[in-house]
């Protein structure tokens, strides 16, 4: 992942780099981010944030992550992935009812009913949903808190946010559009 | 001359230390229990510190110096959102607490942004009730210089933290700080906390010098209020009476207890004769301030 920060304030740039790199290192979706670009000008005041990301992974259905074993009273669903287990349990509680679902061990759940087609096709993990949640978290943490006037622009695989505490100027939107096309603003241009 | 100290140890036999402190003419400023552990902020005469150390060794506890004991510090952050909490504000507040201070976190309602940042009347009064205020600002020089304007109404000594290296008149400034989003765990980061604590310490020393020799120290007022108004022990706060440099904060409502506090007898006089007693801006609290 490439992290680029542009700012007329050199010291502020260093500090922002420290802040953003910590935010990104703690994020669960950092693997999907290809480039993270920030233009920050505190004098205007303006922050433009551009995130280029790639969608990774596939949608996982219930039947993909769970193996079923026949039992006397129903079926035993086995899911050996710890991260997906809570979602598997949530689907079972919702569709079958918690009174008919009993967790036998860390990986095994006893279901006292036959599993319907609807349950087997239920989505357990959707990477695009996870990615969006992760990106929103990064955006909220990165943009200065007082910059509450924001404009979001999006194309496939890229999101650009213009944020300020004053009204957003036309020229800033043009800058953001330029960034959206892939031409980054360089401090030297200002 | 009294020396402030922090004792950490087990609950078992801790009363022995408490009794020794009282016998030596010292005071227990604060006592907090955490399950089987107890933390006590104590002050003892300088010449008797060794006797306290001996007792602490017997109790298998730990004794540290507490340069900020007896001071109430406000740690002011722009808001109490994920941008500022838990790091770095809680880390700073906790570090000051370990140095003996009673630190309170103040999250402003309109503290964000550059042009938008301001203090409300309530916030100003609240911060001015403390001994020292630590204002925590961000990364950009331009924003910090703009934001410093909100501090002009603060009458207590101020320490400001921020990233850029700038010179600020009339207040102590700790650079290289800024917006930290992670825990202060590296040595260099702990050093930064130490710098803030040192700056606060200097402010406390200055204020003590300004106040001069105090005839009746605040911890003595605290002990007498505790003795003469037993209801104070029923207050739910972990520190029902907070010792400040120039008085105490009593966590009892002024309307009900104001008169009782005024009449508390200290040596041959009453509190009202040498202190101002007035309601705090915080509901249900009363301030007792020494008239200097």
Tens of pLDDT along B21-66?
999 999 998 888 989 999 999 999 999 999 999 999 999 999 999 9
Nearest chain B residue to A25 by CA distance is B182
A11 contact B CB<8A: yes
CB hemisphere CA count around B79 (13 angstroms): 13
Which domain covers residue A86, as residue numbers? 60-125
B164 neighbourhood in chain A, CB within 8 Å: 9, 11-12, 15
The Cα A151–Cα B27 span in angstroms is: 59
Clarify whether residues A137 and A101 are in a common domain: no
The Cα A160–Cα A163 span in angstroms is: 10
Closest CA to B240 of B255, B256, B223, B260: B223
A148 neighbourhood in chain B, CB within 8 Å: 113
When divided into structural domains, chain B yields a total of: 3
Clarify whether residues A133 and A177 are in a common domain: yes
B226 token code pair: 């505790």
User: In this predicted structure, what is the pLDDT of residue B140?
Assistant: 92
Clarify whether residues B200 and B238 are in a common domain: no
Contact state of A166 with B115 under an 8 Å Cβ cutoff: yes
Residue B9 has pLDDT above 60, yes or no: yes
Nearest chain A residue to B79 by CA distance is A145
Closest CA to A47 of A119, A131, A151, A127: A151
Residue B134 has pLDDT above 90, yes or no: yes
Residue B292 has pLDDT above 80, yes or no: no
Clarify whether residues B51 and B131 are in a common domain: no
Contact state of A26 with B165 under an 8 Å Cβ cutoff: no
Q: Where are the alpha helices (DSSP H) in A3-126?
A: 10-26, 62-65, 85-95, 117-120
Place of tokens 């700080």: B177
A141 neighbourhood in chain B, CB within 8 Å: 82-83, 181
Clarify whether residues B230 and B276 are in a common domain: yes
**Cα distance from B167 to chain A (closest Cα, Å)?**
15
Closest CA to B285 of B247, B263, B265: B247
Percent of chain B with pLDDT over 70: 100
CATH number of the domain within which B120 lies: 3.40.50.2300
Task: Tell me if B139 sits within 8 A of B168, measured CB to CB.
Answer: no
Clarify whether residues A15 and A69 are in a common domain: no
B79 neighbourhood in chain A, CB within 8 Å: 145
| Site from A146, A147, A149 to mutate, B interface, most B CB atoms within 10 angstroms | A146
CB hemisphere CA count around B283 (13 angstroms): 0
Q: Which of A109, A125, A141 is the last residue of a domain?
A: A125
A18 contact B CB<8A: yes
A15 neighbourhood in chain B, CB within 8 Å: 138-140, 163-164, 178-179
Contact state of B114 with A165 under an 8 Å Cβ cutoff: yes
Clarify whether residues A17 and A43 are in a common domain: yes
pLDDT tens series, chain A, 190 aa: 889 999 999 999 999 999 999 999 989 898 899 999 999 999 989 999 999 999 777 899 999 999 999 988 889 999 998 889 999 999 999 999 999 999 999 999 999 988 899 999 999 998 888 899 999 999 999 999 999 999 999 998 999 999 999 999 999 999 999 999 887 765 444 3
Q: Which of B151, B179, B210 is the last residue of a domain?
A: B210
Number of H helices, E strands in chain B: 9, 15
Clarify whether residues B118 and B153 are in a common domain: yes
Of A26, A42, A147, the CB nearest to B142: A42
Which domain covers residue B168, as residue numbers? 72-210
Q: What are phi and psi of B71, to 5 degrees?
A: -125, 150
Of A9, A18, A165, the CB nearest to B140: A9
For B86-103, letters b (16+ CB in 10 Å) and e give: ebbbbbbbebbbbbbbbb
Q: Where do the DSSP E strands lie in chain A?
A: 2-6, 33-41, 46-53, 60-61, 67-70, 75-78, 101-103, 108-111, 123-125, 149-155, 158-164
The residues near B125 (Cβ < 8 Å, ≥ 6 apart) are B281
The residues near A6 (Cβ < 8 Å, ≥ 6 apart) are A13, A37, A38, A39, A40, A184, A185, A186, A187
Q: What are phi and psi of B155, to 5 degrees?
A: -95, -15
Residue B172 has pLDDT above 50, yes or no: yes
The residues near B231 (Cβ < 8 Å, ≥ 6 apart) are B252, B257
Clarify whether residues B150 and B21 are in a common domain: no
B254 token code pair: 């002024």
**Cα distance from A1 to chain B (closest Cα, Å)?**
20
Clarify whether residues A136 and A52 are in a common domain: yes
* Per-residue pLDDT reduced to its tens digit, A26-37: 898 988 999 999
Q: Which of A125, A145, A160 is the last residue of a domain?
A: A125
Of B78, B141, B182, the CB nearest to A145: B78
Q: Which of A104, A125, A146 is the last residue of a domain?
A: A125
Nearest chain A residue to B144 by CA distance is A42
Strands B247-250 and B286-290: antiparallel
Of B83, B112, B163, the CB nearest to A11: B163
DSSP string, B218-280: HHHHHHHHHHH-GGGGG-SSSSSEEEETTEEEE-S-HHHHHHHHHT-EETTEEHHHHEEEEE-
B72 token code pair: 């109430």
A10 contact B CB<8A: no
Clarify whether residues B131 and B200 are in a common domain: yes
Clarify whether residues B244 and B116 are in a common domain: no
Residue B111 has pLDDT above 50, yes or no: yes
User: In this predicted structure, what is the pLDDT of residue A185?
Assistant: 61
For the beta carbon of residue B211, count every other beta carbon within 10 angstroms.
Answer: 12
A4 token code pair: 């680029």
For the beta carbon of residue A25, count every other beta carbon within 10 angstroms.
Answer: 10
Clarify whether residues B39 and B94 are in a common domain: no
- Cα B97–chain centre separation: 8
Clarify whether residues B53 and B33 are in a common domain: yes
Contact state of A146 with B139 under an 8 Å Cβ cutoff: no
| Bridge partner list, A154 | A159
Q: Which of B19, B35, B65 is the last residue of a domain?
A: B65
Task: Tell me if B258 sits within 8 A of B277, measured CB to CB.
Answer: yes
A8 contact B CB<8A: no
When divided into structural domains, chain A yields a total of: 2
A26 neighbourhood in chain B, CB within 8 Å: 181-182
B20 token code pair: 């020794």
Clarify whether residues B37 and B161 are in a common domain: no
A165 contact B CB<8A: yes
B179 neighbourhood in chain A, CB within 8 Å: 15, 19
Of B115, B180, B181, the CB nearest to A165: B115
Task: Tell me if A6 sits within 8 A of A185, measured CB to CB.
Answer: yes
Clarify whether residues A44 and A137 are in a common domain: yes
Clarify whether residues B191 and B106 are in a common domain: yes
Nearest chain B residue to A15 by CA distance is B139
Clarify whether residues A152 and A118 are in a common domain: no
Contact state of A145 with B81 under an 8 Å Cβ cutoff: yes
B181 neighbourhood in chain A, CB within 8 Å: 19, 22-23, 26, 141
The Cα B66–Cα B75 span in angstroms is: 18
CATH number of the domain within which B47 lies: 3.30.70.120
Clarify whether residues B146 and B222 are in a common domain: no
């Amino acid at each position: 992942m490439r992290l680029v920060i542009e700012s007329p304030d050199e010291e502020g740039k260093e500090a922002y780099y420290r802040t953003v790199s910590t935010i990104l290192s703690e994020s669960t979706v950092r693997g999907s981010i290809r480039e993270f670009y920030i233009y920050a000008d505190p004098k205007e005041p303006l922050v433009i944030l551009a995130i280029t990301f790639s969608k990774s992974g596939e949608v996982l259905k219930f039947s993909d992550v769970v193996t079923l074993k026949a039992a006397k009273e129903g079926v035993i669903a086995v899911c050996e992935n710890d991260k997906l287990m809570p979602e598997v349990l949530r689907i079972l509680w919702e569709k079958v009812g918690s009174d008919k679902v009993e967790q036998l061990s860390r990986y095994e759940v006893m279901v006292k009913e036959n599993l319907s087609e609807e349950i087997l096709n239920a989505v357990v993990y959707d990477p695009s949903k996870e990615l969006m949640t992760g990106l929103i978290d990064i955006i909220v943490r990165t943009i200065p808190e007082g910059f509450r006037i924001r404009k979001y622009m999006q194309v496939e695989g890229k999101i650009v946010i213009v944020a300020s505490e004053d009204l957003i100027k036309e020229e800033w939107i043009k800058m953001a559009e330029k960034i959206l096309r892939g031409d980054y603003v360089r401090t030297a241009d200002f | 001359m009294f020396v402030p100290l922090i004792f950490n140890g087990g609950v078992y036999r801790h009363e022995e230390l408490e009794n020794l402190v009282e016998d030596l003419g010292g005071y227990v400023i604060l006592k907090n229990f955490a399950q089987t552990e107890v933390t006590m902020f104590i002050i003892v005469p300088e010449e008797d510190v060794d006797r306290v150390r001996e007792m602490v060794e017997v109790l298998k506890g730990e004794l540290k110096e507490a340069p900020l004991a007896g001071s109430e510090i406000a740690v002011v952050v722009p808001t109490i959102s994920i941008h500022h909490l838990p790091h770095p504000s809680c880390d700073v507040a906790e570090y000051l607490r370990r140095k003996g201070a009673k630190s309170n976190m103040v999250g402003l309602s309109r503290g964000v942004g550059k042009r938008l940042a301001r203090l409300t009347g309530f916030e100003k009064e609240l911060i001015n009730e403390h001994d020292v205020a630590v204002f925590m600002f961000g990364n950009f020089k331009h924003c910090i210089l703009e934001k410093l304007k909100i501090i002009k109404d603060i009458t207590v000594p101020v320490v400001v933290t921020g990233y850029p290296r700038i010179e600020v008149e009339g207040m102590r400034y700790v650079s290289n700080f800024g917006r930290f989003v992670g825990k202060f765990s590296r040595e260099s980061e702990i050093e930064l906390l130490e710098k803030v604590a040192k700056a606060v310490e200097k402010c406390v020393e200055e204020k003590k010098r300004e106040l001069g020799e105090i005839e009746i120290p605040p911890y003595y007022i605290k002990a007498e209020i505790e003795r003469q108004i037993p209801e104070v022990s029923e207050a739910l706060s972990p520190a029902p009476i907070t010792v400040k440099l120039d008085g105490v904060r009593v966590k009892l409502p002024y309307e009900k207890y104001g008169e009782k506090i005024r009449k508390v007898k200290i040596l041959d006089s009453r509190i009202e004769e040498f202190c101002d007693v007035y309601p705090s801006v915080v509901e249900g609290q009363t301030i007792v301030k020494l008239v200097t």
